[in-house]
Amino acid sequence: MAPVIEIDGCSVYAVPAVHYRAPFAAEVNRICSDPRTRPEAIAVELAPHIAYELRTWMSELVAGHSELPCMLGLMVKNRLIHPDYFESAVNLQMNTGKQLAEISPQLIKNLLHFSENLLIGLSSTDSIIEAVRCSVGLNIPVYGVDMDEYSVNPGRSPLIEEPVSNSFDLEKYASRFEGMAATFRDAYVDSRRETIMAARLKYIARRFKRILFTGGLAHWVMLKKLLNDPSLKPAEFLDRGPSGEMTRVIIHPKIAVAFMDRYPLMSTLYERSRNSPGEGTLFPAAMETPYNIYRGILDKVYSRYLPESGKNKFSPRNESWKLADFERLMANIAMVHPGSSPSMTEMLACSESMMPQEFTRLLADQLMDIGRPWASIGQFPELPVVYLVPEGSGDRTTPPELYKLVSKSNENNDQGSRYKRSRSFNVNYREAYPLPGNPLDSWEWSNEPKEHGNKAGSFCWVWPPCEALLYGTAYEASALASTTVKKNDSLPFEGSLHEGLDIKATMRSSITGEKKIYVKKTSLSRRTSQPDLTRPEPVVFIFDEFPSEVKPEWSLMLAALNFGNLIKNKKNLYNETVRKFGNYFVTVVCRTVYIEPPEAIRDAVDSYGILEGILKIGHPCINAKQGAEWLEQNDFNACPVLQNTSIHTLVDFYKRHHGISIDESDWKSTLILAGIPYARERVVIIAPAGFKPSLSTFSAAKRRNISLDFLPLNYFSAERIAGMRRRLTVRTSDSYGLHYPPEAERILGEKPDKYFDLFPPLLQQEFAKYSHEGRNENR
Amino acid sequence: MAEKETRLTIRDKSVFQSESYVPGSHQINKFIGREHELRLITAAWISGNYSQPMSPLLIGEPGVGKNRLIYELAQKTGRQLYILQGHEDITSEDLACTVRFSDSGNSAMDYILSPLVTAMNKGGICFIDEIGKIRPRALALLVSVLDERRYIDSTLLGERIHAHPGFRFIAATNTADVNLLPEFITSRMRPRITIGFPPKEEIDDIIRDQCSGIKKEVDMLIDLFWLLWTENGGSVGAIAPRDAIYLFGWASRLCAFESTGGMKALKESGSGNPFDLSNSNHFTGIRPEHLRQSFKKMFSERNQSIA
């Protein structure tokens, strides 16, 4: 039963609601469907012009769709800073000596909680959206009774019991929790809003006999008081028409979950059990309980996970044991948190902390499966998608929590892109639950508006003699550089204390009755080792630095790109790796200065670079076939795997997956640190005499028990060093890098297999196989 | 009396127990935020007749407040806290029991139970800090503590010690060291809880709590603090509480130095007239220039370490 307030002969049916929770939307629908309670007008906690725009849009949407698409939204311009931050705004201007308009929007968002936009989600399970939808179905007016404009202070939500649909009694629920919810009101802004809402409701009450009002539960205590207060007079308000300050958008699913009930699937279940008011039926059977939905989600994940885990050599018994612990943690979470089942965020947090990544990915997939497609540009080509700019994408200076709009491009832009993207901006919105962060990163939206396919650059390959000279030298250096081996011994004291008393050994001796004093002795020895041809150790070349006015660029080079069809046996593992990390298998990280190629070779080369430093991981990948074979041999884990070739993505990858913090401004340390996780025993560093690596490289190596072995650069002739630094790329006629144009060999004056004799004999045989293959295919 | 409390007899061996850690109220700051983590750890520790408590692993950058979270949990669950500090020289014997030459004439050696075994014996919480710094082979002894056996074998004592039902285990490691933990430990230490940087509001509250003596000026200083932090390349909400407290603490000391007479007083000081090193105006009197100097100092240190 909904609370009813009588005002001047008008019955106001109220649905004080917790936003986005289905039982409140269902209550609105029930009141509108039942002829005994069906209202003549609807009032909602929205500004009049927003209610108008929503009503207009909803009538267009409902006309064409039986279900409300999931999820569309309205982006509304905001101009107000919350009064709590007035003083901070003044301080900010004083401290910076700038006007607010001159300060970066991100700083203003962070320090003053100001966003230039508010986002309203057309969420099926929200009582306000349901009320607007019912007004369309019943063809009755809807009034936005809230203040036209007010500032928002993102506060905390009350931790109150989750409503459960099949045993829901609105009146009881409201009377139980309205007081607690009211304590989270914003005293300054909300009291003004409530006064206006009550005055406007009184005005509407004069014109109709029965109205329905829905708004936040937190306002209900004060609204009741004000509606019953005769001193508060009705306030006439102007119906505002359409406003140009609103944009209709598609909300990206990763943001849309913030506007949804406990599990996103509930949106679809609500749609399917929802009644169309005015069609003579009452609200049908109650929705599935959140607990049953939760169990259903888990059962589906288990049925997908257990067969997959079997394939990945986990013992099913071990997996069952892990699942039991996972279930137990979630059951315990439900005990310390009000609600019958953990929320989506809690489920993902538990999974991330307890289960393998694969399980979390399956869980994220299942949670994001709403049983129908998410609204996309394909469905609404005229609407842009609002999305969260991913951290670490492209420009490192992009701060977190910035949003963009992406829309279909009608023009042919220079990049041949199908989409155009807006500048970054800030958005505020009310969240149902805190959004899950990282665990949703692995989820991919099948209708993500992104570019597909290769760019021409993927047909460019490093000229094989450049690779051969560098890698051949690396093999030679690996055999020459010696490793210092430290050995700790405990010896009976015979006159020298060496590295000091070994207390533990002495005590052991005392306990066993030997009663000798033991001392620690460290001895060093050196050994050299032959490079492993399947997985050679990483090698770093540090050449002489360029003068300060020359600015080298970071460049990441790949074993191959889009080589999935070349994988012979481990296709599943490849797909899994690509899905988890990306499809950029980086085997070379280097610092290069690109210069204009000499006139004589300009026609043959795509780019001409001089190296300042380079890290090579694993084999030279002289073409995609050989690169793919090497990656497959090493289970696709012998090098970093990224989503793009930005140095910032590489830095993020090392931080996230190897726990190594890399500061790319220190390029020498970056090269060494990037090699350490892919070494088994050592990283070989060829550097100018006197080079001293930073402490951070030593400590990262020590933690992993990796030796940093050095060889002076001047061991090699100046001519050879100059050759190693030269980096030419040549455009091949195929994407695999097998066929170089014949004129390249003529113009560059060297055969593609020059310097291959520097490779160990086994590798020479392997590479010869590919050069024959290339020639055969040429014919 | 103290002797009686720390001494224990296992079979016929007299052993000493480790001391529990009780953070003094003056030493630690007010606990702010971290509700999600508190909830997750408490849930992991709930146990009954048919289920054993889990052993969470906290992962986070230095200074984010992992230890502070555990002190709070110990207080909230009413258990004694025993801390074992992880480092590279810890051996598996150290995890269970060590010996020292005895001062008493009755025996040559004293057995000292480790913080882990003391917590197991008394039903307290054992917290291994920096577990990632302990060598894998030293951690092997933990396996039987963390699985359903819940006991530890001490070679030195020649005894098997079973955990009291009230015993709870937790460990923490810095993000950089987490990959060094062996699989046989990580598979038993769950949930793995990542402790991120607290949001801006929590940092603000932590600063307000520290600077309770300057309520009037603190909001202005906080605004300046965030501005300086972002000007130096930091993101709002990406600072460890320890760094924030350090910056304000340094500003407070600069202020104290100034109010004690500054350079002039220091030059005039001598053995007969020593410079006063006590800081009575803790976190008070800070002015914007002190905070600016504090940032300058911190970021010049950081740049030096990069160079």
Residues 6+ apart with CB under 8 A from A704: A676, A677, A679, B180
Dump the DSSP string for A22-38: HHHHHHHHHHHHSTTT-
Same domain, B86 and B160: yes
Residue in chain B nearest A347 by alpha carbon: B40
Residue in chain A nearest B233 by alpha carbon: A397
User: CB contact, 8 Å: A349 with chain B?
Assistant: yes
CB A614 within 8 A of CB A555: no
Question: How many angstroms separate the most distant Cα atoms in chain A?
Answer: 107
User: CB contact, 8 Å: A350 with chain B?
Assistant: yes
CB A159 within 8 A of CB A338: yes
Token digits for A306? 């257990």
What does the buried/exposed string (b/e) look like for B157-186 if buried means 16 or more CB atoms within 10 Å of the residue's CB? bebebebeebbbbbbbbbbbbbbbbeeebe
Same domain, B168 and B224: no
Residue at B38 is within a domain? yes
Residue in chain B nearest A95 by alpha carbon: B224
With beta carbons under 8 A apart, name residues in chain B contacting A500: none
Contact B230 A110 (CB under 8 A): yes
Contact B180 A704 (CB under 8 A): yes
Residues 6+ apart with CB under 8 A from B151: B120, B144, B145, B160, B161, B162, B163
Report d(CA B175, CA B64) in Å as an integer.
Answer: 11
User: SS3 for A561-625, per residue?
Assistant: CCCHHHCCCCHHHHHHHHHHHCCEEEEEEEEEEEECCCHHHCCCCCEEEEEEEEEECCCCCCCHH
Residue in chain A nearest B33 by alpha carbon: A156
Where does a domain end: B162, B195, B228? Answer: B195
Where does a domain end: B174, B195, B216? Answer: B195
Interface with chain A: mutation pick from B227, B287, B292, B305, highest number of A CBs within 10 Å: B227
Contact B227 A336 (CB under 8 A): no
Contact A95 B224 (CB under 8 A): yes
Where residue B302 falls among pLDDT bands split at 50, 70, 90?
A: low
Range of the domain at B114: 2-195
Strand A117-121 vs strand A72-77: parallel, antiparallel, or unpaired? antiparallel
B216 has pLDDT over 80: no
The ipTM assigned to this model is: 0.77
Q: Point out which residues pair with A53 in neighbouring strands.
A: none
The predicted pLDDT at position A436 comes to 62
The predicted pLDDT at position B53 comes to 93
Residue in chain A nearest B204 by alpha carbon: A111
Same domain, B175 and B99: yes
Interface with chain A: mutation pick from B170, B226, B292, B302, highest number of A CBs within 10 Å: B226
Same domain, B204 and B139: no
The predicted pLDDT at position A192 comes to 93
The predicted pLDDT at position A286 comes to 66
For residue B143, give the 3-state DSSP assignment.
helix
- Helix, strand, coil percentages, rounded to 5, for chain A: 40, 15, 40
For residue A354, give how far its alpha carbon lies from the nearest alpha carbon of chain B (Å): 5
Same domain, B187 and B258: no
Q: Of A568 and B60, which is predicted with more confidence? A: B60
The helix-helix angle for A265-273 and A290-311 (nearest 10°) equals 130
DSSP state of A427: E
Contact A329 B226 (CB under 8 A): no
Dump the DSSP string for A474-494: HHHHHHHSPEEEEEEEEEE-S
CB A536 within 8 A of CB A619: yes
CB A487 within 8 A of CB A498: no
CB B265 within 8 A of CB B234: no
Residues 6+ apart with CB under 8 A from A635: A570, A573
Place of tokens 């207080």: B75
Residues 6+ apart with CB under 8 A from A94: none
Contact B39 A328 (CB under 8 A): no
B31 has pLDDT over 90: no
Tell me how crowded residue A679 is: count the other CB atoms within 10 A of its CB.
21
With beta carbons under 8 A apart, name residues in chain B contacting A360: none
Report d(CA A682, CA A538) in Å as an integer.
Answer: 8
B118 has pLDDT over 60: yes
* R_g of chain B computed on alpha carbons: 23
Residue at B217 is within a domain? yes
CB A13 within 8 A of CB A37: yes
Contact B54 A337 (CB under 8 A): no
Contact B192 A354 (CB under 8 A): yes
Contact A107 B175 (CB under 8 A): no
Strand B151-154 vs strand B97-101: parallel, antiparallel, or unpaired? unpaired
For residue A253, give how far its alpha carbon lies from the nearest alpha carbon of chain B (Å): 24
Same domain, B289 and B178: no
Interface with chain A: mutation pick from B51, B236, B291, B299, highest number of A CBs within 10 Å: B236
Chain centroid offset of residue A460 CA: 30
Cis peptide before A538 (omega within 30 of 0): no
The predicted pLDDT at position A451 comes to 52
Query: What integer is the mean pLDDT of B204-216?
Result: 82
Residue in chain B nearest A656 by alpha carbon: B175
B164 has pLDDT over 80: yes
Report d(CA A251, CA A71) in Å as an integer.
Answer: 6
Residue at B111 is within a domain? yes
Report mean pLDDT in 10-residue bins for chain A, 779 residues.
Answer: 86 93 92 91 94 92 78 92 88 86 80 88 95 93 90 70 77 89 86 94 93 94 93 79 80 93 92 80 69 92 75 54 85 76 88 85 92 92 87 39 77 56 82 70 79 46 88 86 77 81 83 83 74 81 82 83 76 81 88 83 83 89 82 88 84 85 87 93 89 85 85 89 89 76 83 83 76 48
- For residue B179, give the nearest of A96, A510, A659 by CB distance: A659
- Separation in Å, CA A64 to CA A29, A60, A61: 20, 7, 6
Interface with chain B: mutation pick from A329, A330, A501, A698, highest number of B CBs within 10 Å: A329
Report d(CA A743, CA A752) in Å as an integer.
Answer: 12
Contact A353 B190 (CB under 8 A): yes
With beta carbons under 8 A apart, name residues in chain A contacting B91: 504
With beta carbons under 8 A apart, name residues in chain B contacting A107: 227, 230, 236
Residue at B306 is within a domain? no
Number of domains comprising chain B: 2
Report d(CA A469, CA A367) in Å as an integer.
Answer: 52
Interface with chain B: mutation pick from A81, A87, A95, A398, highest number of B CBs within 10 Å: A95
Q: Of A564 and B90, which is predicted with more confidence? A: B90
- For residue B224, give the nearest of A91, A353, A677 by CB distance: A91
Same domain, B90 and B225: no
Same domain, B29 and B116: yes
Beta strands in A364-413 (DSSP E): 385-388, 403-408
Same domain, B230 and B134: no
> In B, what residues contact A, Cβ < 8 A?
36, 39-40, 42-44, 46, 51, 54, 56, 91, 93, 99, 108-109, 156, 174-180, 190-194, 200, 219-220, 223-224, 226-227, 230, 235-237, 288, 306
Token digits for A683? 């990283």
* R_g of chain A computed on alpha carbons: 33
DSSP state of A544: P
For residue B280, give how far its alpha carbon lies from the nearest alpha carbon of chain A (Å): 29
Same domain, B123 and B243: no
Same domain, B283 and B253: yes
Contact A337 B39 (CB under 8 A): yes
Token digits for A539? 């090698």
Contact A328 B51 (CB under 8 A): yes
Which range has the worst mean pLDDT, A100-104, B1-5, B167-171? B1-5
Interface with chain B: mutation pick from A85, A153, A507, highest number of B CBs within 10 Å: A507
The predicted pLDDT at position A165 comes to 66
With beta carbons under 8 A apart, name residues in chain B contacting A328: 51, 54
CB A447 within 8 A of CB A737: no
Gap between the terminal Cα atoms of chain B:
55
User: CB contact, 8 Å: A488 with chain B?
Assistant: no
Report d(CA A285, CA A283) in Å as an integer.
Answer: 7
Nearest to B82 by CA among B156, B164, B17, B3: B17
Give the amino acid at A23. P
User: CB contact, 8 Å: A333 with chain B?
Assistant: yes
User: CB contact, 8 Å: A396 with chain B?
Assistant: no
Nearest to A674 by CA among A737, A626, A749, A617: A617
Interface with chain A: mutation pick from B49, B179, B215, highest number of A CBs within 10 Å: B179
Q: For the full predicted model, state whether its pTM sits above 0.90.
A: no
Same domain, B26 and B68: yes
Place of tokens 């709930």: B46
- For residue B43, give the nearest of A335, A400, A511 by CB distance: A335
Report d(CA A144, CA A201) in Å as an integer.
Answer: 10
Residue in chain A nearest B236 by alpha carbon: A110
Phi, psi of A143 (to 5 degrees): -115, 130
Where does a domain end: B195, B228, B249? Answer: B195
The predicted pLDDT at position B1 comes to 37
Contact B175 A336 (CB under 8 A): no
Share of chain B above pLDDT 90, in %: 33
DSSP state of A759: S
Q: Point out which residues pair with B9 in neighbouring strands.
A: B14
CB A703 within 8 A of CB A678: no
Report d(CA B276, CA A45) in Å as an integer.
Answer: 62
What's the CATH number where B79 sits?
A: 3.40.50.300
- For residue B180, give the nearest of A332, A434, A703 by CB distance: A703
Which range has the worst mean pLDDT, A484-493, B163-172, B193-202? A484-493
Residue at B86 is within a domain? yes
Contact B190 A354 (CB under 8 A): yes
Contact B226 A111 (CB under 8 A): yes
Contact B306 A88 (CB under 8 A): no
Phi, psi of A554 (to 5 degrees): -75, 140
- For residue B191, give the nearest of A353, A510, A655 by CB distance: A353
Report d(CA A337, CA A223) in Å as an integer.
Answer: 29
Residue in chain A nearest B61 by alpha carbon: A659
